[in-house]
Chains A and B, each alone.
Chain A
């Protein structure tokens, strides 16, 4: 270790946050760019499966909730893109890296949202899993990332609540509505568990990320926390979690769960999920089709600047 590296690690060990202009090892910077940009892309792509249902929300109450949630996600993507930029990256390049497939986003958004009950399942499970992850990341060692997480956590609590509330209503509704809710849980349960990433034994970056305090808990720890929180919530709804091996271990107080299908996980991460192509092309097209708007705004700003100068 060089002296700079030693000083850096000593700061981390004392829980002193790293700020943009502080010296940091290249690998730390690279890890942050990868993790934070992936997080930003997830917020942005995450708008698509829910945006899909805004026009078909069954009531005005549900519609304003969904609109507000999707709008928040755009904001959260922006906080994170801004935070990534503090590491010296070019924002448009960061975005293009997702469109070219070089950068990833959370695999959960490559699953389709087929029924209205999916809006409940996404809020309850997907946002629930994201919150577990993000609450832990509030204490991450990089200042701008940590601050973005604090802001996001503050705003995101309603995302999960509105989804769960929606499911309570469906589960107290007709038989068909309850079946829709069960079907949504069946489809979203396992992909939600996969959101925490590969198992610790198969996660090559975890040890270094923990040493740098970029991550504060391992993937498996967070996954367990999410399961322990969620099972009683499913019981309350009267829904069955689609895992025959799920059972409470009375000694540890934790739920034991069945084997996750990691082949499916890696298959979706590698671009072969049900919606990968659709999601990426929706984002790339949106950038391409909006170019003239951005150019017009730039031209207008320039014209105003000249006008002011002359006056």
Chain B
């Protein structure tokens, strides 16, 4: 081992029951147990979490920023997907 690089892990924390796990950062660790222990020490020193996921960064597949247009623009002109597109008379009240 030349420089001792451990694999990179992405860390996700559930801050309390009822909320989803949220990406908080990354760290390096030799294996998944160590990744979870290190994530506990690094990302939850002030009770920020009740559950931790770690995922090898190499296993994260991401959309390409240069495809942002073709990927996400199609949703922009579809106003009919939103409730405010539809006219409901005031006397009906909240719907």
Binding site for B on A (CB under 8 A): 19, 21-23, 68, 71-72, 75, 78-79, 82, 85, 90-93, 96, 147-148, 151, 155, 291, 294-295, 297-298, 300-301, 304-305
Contact = CB atoms under 8 A, between A and B. Distances in A.
B62 interface: yes
Contacts of B31: 297, 300-301, 304-305
Interface string B4-36: 111010000000000000000111101100100
B88 interface: no
A61 B8 CA distance: 36
Interface of B: 1, 3-6, 8, 25-28, 30-31, 34, 41-42, 45-46, 62, 64-66
A205 to B, nearest CB: 27
Nearest to B63: A21
B1 A295 contact: yes
A297 B30 CA distance: 6
18 contacts: A21-B62, A21-B64, A21-B65, A22-B65, A23-B65, A68-B45, A75-B41, A78-B42, A82-B27, A91-B5, A91-B28, A92-B4, A147-B25, A291-B4, A297-B31, A297-B34, A298-B4, A300-B30
Contacts of A79: 25, 42
Contacts of A297: 6, 30-31, 34
Contact of A90 (B5, B25, B41): B5
Interface of chain A, main secondary structure: helix
Given A71-B41, A92-B5, 6 more contacts: A75-B45, A78-B42, A82-B26, A91-B28, A96-B3, A298-B4
Contacts of B3: 90, 92-93, 96
A298 B65 contact: no
B45 A72 contact: yes
Contacts of A147: 25
Contacts, number: 59
B4 A294 contact: yes
A287 to B, nearest CB: 8
B30 to A, nearest CB: 4
Nearest to B3: A92
A294 B6 contact: yes
Nearest to A154: B46
A6 to B, nearest CB: 16
A103 B17 CA distance: 43
Given A21-B64, A304-B31, A155 B1 contact: no
A90 B28 CA distance: 12
A155 B42 CA distance: 12
B25 to A, nearest CB: 6
A148 to B, nearest CB: 8
A155 B46 CA distance: 9
Contact of A295 (B4, B8, B26, B65): B4
Nearest to B1: A295
Nearest to B7: A301
A10 B25 CA distance: 28
Contact of A298 (B27, B30, B41): B30
A272 B91 CA distance: 80
A75 B42 contact: yes
A54 to B, nearest CB: 17
